Amino acid sequence: MQKPSTSKIAWLLPTTWFYWQPALSELTRYFPHTKVFTGLFPGFAKGLENPLDVEMVGKQKVVTVTKSVTSYGNNFTYLSPKILPRLFQYRPQVVFSSSFGIWTLFALLTKWLGRWKVVIAYEGSSPGVDYRNSPLRLALRRAMVWAADACITNSRTGQKYLIDCLGSPPERTFAQPYEVPDVRSLAAVNEMLEIVVPGQLLRFSDLRHPVFLFVGSMVPRKGVSCLLDACKLLKDAGSKEFSVLLVGDGPQQEDLQSYAQQHQLENCVTWVGRISYDDISTYFHHADVFVLPTLEDTWGMVVLEAMLLGKVVLCSTGAGAAELVREGENGYCFAPNDPEALAAAMQRLITDPSQIAAMGERSKAIMADYSPQQAGVFLRHVAVMVMGGEST
């Protein structure tokens, strides 16, 4: 490992979610003076309590302009202008800023005065956040990309959007997963034998295998209705030897449960509800296959978590993380809102469950290329590049 740099790195994140923390913690190995400024901080992920220097600057407020039941909707995130005096006090050499929000705009407008380089971190591309039909937004984003020193994104589709739609120079636009899970945060498995769900007590041993697991919010965008439609298709075709665990809650849950009751899916579908992040690993442990039927997700961190824990993945192409699924090797992809394709993929694994173990191991092997350590090296490379060579 190279000698740590004395250069200062600042990260501007509206919310410092758990999935940001592993790569940023690794970045501190190369740049110990890395500071995260945020408007919302839910706490440290397990095992990552020490490396990160996090400072709250004001409070994040999300203002909904227009709602959408199948997309992210049109939102504006208010962040405190107090970030500017804090940046000038800290005086970083490089500022990584999330997406095209107000803090990114502040950092770009003052970069020549502050003498810092700015890297835009765009999580990934999806219809609900790309604003391809908004000339004003696109013009502003193109100006921000022009002023930035580099752009990074998790996915190839994000890279294509930055280059083709926003005009980011290819030589300064990098695609590499940097929102990646850390095994330390997912290592704890509670050897509980029972699932406590509303109105019943279910033993894991009672579940029919393969066990398909969904983890996420019960909102239309996540596509849970597609998964239930697929379950109905399997049931109508006479397939009974499988179970589905639905972890999470949300405003659509009541309608989804009514649909499941109407089509008599209670014997194969279990509604777990919201659980602590610390308990996620337990459900992955008892499941065989992870399913993400989302209509759109800029990335889809939970797909990487499932792969890291050795699970087969069925993922819609609406998620950026679908790029990590190798068709027929560690899972299958399907078009958003296509229950027939999802049911066909599920049926393959129900018919021949002997392939599940090998496919799960393939998931783990793929994730070896997308570790927090490699994400930290990637971020270091970008920081060094925009500085024109590492300062010490």
User: pLDDT digits over 340-361, tens only?
Assistant: 999 999 999 999 999 999 999 9
In a domain, 1, yes or no: no
pLDDT of 286 higher than 60: yes
pLDDT, tens digit (0-9, with 9 covering 90-100), for 91-140: 999 999 999 999 999 999 999 999 999 999 999 999 889 999 999 999 99
Is residue 193 located within the same domain as residue 53?
no
Is residue 241 located within the same domain as residue 322?
yes
In a domain, 4, yes or no: no
Sequence-distant (≥ 6) Cβ neighbours of residue 364 within 8 angstroms: 307, 308, 309, 310
Residue 295 belongs to domain spanning: 184-367
* Per-residue confidence (pLDDT) for residue 57, from 0 to 100: 94
Taking the C-alpha atoms of residue 301 and residue 178, their distance in angstroms, rounded to an integer, is: 10
pLDDT, tens digit (0-9, with 9 covering 90-100), for 145-169: 999 999 999 999 999 999 999 999 9
In a domain, 3, yes or no: no
CATH number of the domain that residue 139 is part of: 3.40.50.2000
pLDDT, tens digit (0-9, with 9 covering 90-100), for 205-218: 788 999 999 999 99
Burial call 371-387: b when 16+ CB within 10 Å, e when fewer: bbebbbbbbbebbbbbb
- Mean pLDDT, range 353-380, rounded to an integer: 96
Higher-confidence position of 32 and 193: 32
Could you give the maximum distance between any two Cα atoms of the chain, in Å? Answer: 68
Is residue 192 located within the same domain as residue 106?
no
In a domain, 2, yes or no: no
What is the total residue count of the chain?
Answer: 392
pLDDT, tens digit (0-9, with 9 covering 90-100), for 226-267: 999 999 999 999 998 999 999 999 999 999 999 999 999 988
Q: Are 120 and 289 in contact (CB under 8 A)?
A: no
In a domain, 350, yes or no: yes
Is residue 235 located within the same domain as residue 131?
no
Mean pLDDT, all residues of the chain:
91
Is residue 377 located within the same domain as residue 359?
no
* Per-residue confidence (pLDDT) for residue 47, from 0 to 100: 74
Is residue 161 located within the same domain as residue 100?
yes
Is residue 252 located within the same domain as residue 378?
no
Q: Give, for 203, the enclosing helix (H) or strand (E).
A: strand 200-203
- CA dist 128 → 75, 250, 255, 304, 318 (Å): 10, 19, 24, 22, 11
Question: Whole-model pTM?
Answer: 0.92
Is residue 376 located within the same domain as residue 345?
no
Q: Are 301 and 321 in contact (CB under 8 A)?
A: yes
* Per-residue confidence (pLDDT) for residue 361, from 0 to 100: 97
Is residue 98 located within the same domain as residue 232?
no
Q: How confident is the model at residue 391 (pLDDT cuts 50, 70, 90)?
A: very low
Domain count within the chain? 2
pLDDT of 308 higher than 90: yes
Is residue 157 located within the same domain as residue 283?
no
Taking the C-alpha atoms of residue 366 and residue 331, their distance in angstroms, rounded to an integer, is: 12
Q: Give, for 117, the enclosing helix (H) or strand (E).
A: strand 117-122
Is residue 38 located within the same domain as residue 141?
yes
Is residue 159 located within the same domain as residue 223?
no
* Per-residue confidence (pLDDT) for residue 392, from 0 to 100: 38
Sequence-distant (≥ 6) Cβ neighbours of residue 328 within 8 angstroms: none
Burial call 40-51: b when 16+ CB within 10 Å, e when fewer: bbeebbbbbeeb
